[in-house]
Amino acid sequence: MRIFVTGGAGYIGSVCVEQLLDAGHQVTVFDNLTEGHKSAVDPRAKFVKDDLANAEGVKKAMAASKAEAVMHFGANALVGESVQNPSKYFRNNVANGVNLLDAMVACGVPKIIFSSTCATFGNPVKIPIAEDHPQQPLNPYGLSKLMFEQILHWYEVAHGLKHVILRYFNAAGCTEKFGEHHRIETHLIPNILFVALGKKPHLEIFGTDYDTPDGTCIRDYIHILDLAQAHMLALKREESSIYNLGNGDGSSVKQVLHACLKVTGKDIPVVEKPRRPGDASNMIAASHKAEREMGWKPKHPRIDEIVASAWKWHVAHPDGYPD
C-alpha cells in the first residue's frame, strides 16, 4: 500500500516507517522536524518537510503521495509541558490533526491509524486496563489525544473515514538502525542508559513508597517492534476499532534498573526523590482485544530484551542522531 506517515522522523514513527518499507509498502513521511530528526527518516521513504498547521501543504503532499492510508504519529508528547502550555498541545495535537483529516477527506483517503496513548485513561480504577476503562485524563496531553479520538468518530459519521486507534502504554527499545533520541528525554530506560554511558551523573527515582512490591511505580513496557507490528496489522482492519497495546505485564522502576545493570554491566548511581504529582502507581494494559481481533501478540515482551536493544543502539549512537 501507499502510506502517508506524519511524524515519521520521530521515535515510534521512524521504526514504523522502517518496518512498513521492509514489508514492501511505499511510504511518504511528513514531518516538521521540530522534535524528529532528518537522519531518522529511512532513505527509502519520500520525505516532505512541512507542518500540519499548513492545511494546504498537507493536502498537496497527500495528493502527491496517492495515499491509501494514513498513519498519524505527529504530536507533542511531554506531559509537564502540556500543563504549562496547553495552547501548544490543543493547537498541534487537535487543531492541526483536523487539518490532516480534512486533507484525507479532500484526497479520498479512506483510513487512518492513530497513535494514541494510555494517558487518555488518567488514574486507573481497574488493572489491567481494557479499552472500555473510563477515560479521565489528568493533563492537556492526555486530553488532546482523547479529543482527537472523539473527532475521529464524527469524521466517520460525516465522511465514512475509517480509523484504528492504538493506545500505547510505554514504548521502549530500538532497532539496529533507529532508536530513541528526544530533545527532552523523559522516558525511564534511556535516562538510565545515559547514566551507564556517563552522560548523566545518576538516576533519579521519584517515589519509593507506592503500593507495589518494591515501592516503585510499575509500567507496561512494549518493544517498538511489537508496536510497529500492530500498526501493520491495523492496516488490514476494515472496520473502525480501538486497541490498547501492552504486554499485559509490568516492570517496576527498580526492576527496569536491575535489567539495565545486568545488560550494561555498568555502575548506575541512584538518587531517591519524593513522588511526582499525578504519577499512577500501576499502569498495565489488557491487550486481549488486539490479540483476538488482529492476531497481535508481542514477540519481545521481556524487559531485559527491550533494554538490550536500546543499549545496543545508544552505544552505537551515544549522541543520538546527528541532526
Q: In sequence order, what are the residues at sequence separation of 6 or more whose Cβ sits closer than 8 angstroms to the Cβ of residue 141?
A: 76, 77, 78, 79, 81, 82, 89, 93, 117, 119
Indicate if 141 belongs to the active site.
yes
The residue assigned the cell 490543543 is 90
Query: DSSP assignment, residue 200?
Result: S
Q: Is the peptide bond before 86 cis (omega within 30 degrees of 0)?
A: no
Q: Provide the grid cell at 158.
A: 460525516
- Calculate the CA 115 to chain-centre distance: 6
- What gap in Å lies between CA 157 and CA 161, rounded to an integer? 8
Residue 228 DSSP label: H
- Residues 11, 89, 141, 243: which is the catalytic one? 141
* DSSP reduced 3-state for 193: helix
CA distances from 24 to 19, 21, 27, 45, 316 (A): 9, 5, 9, 11, 27
Active site amino acids: 141
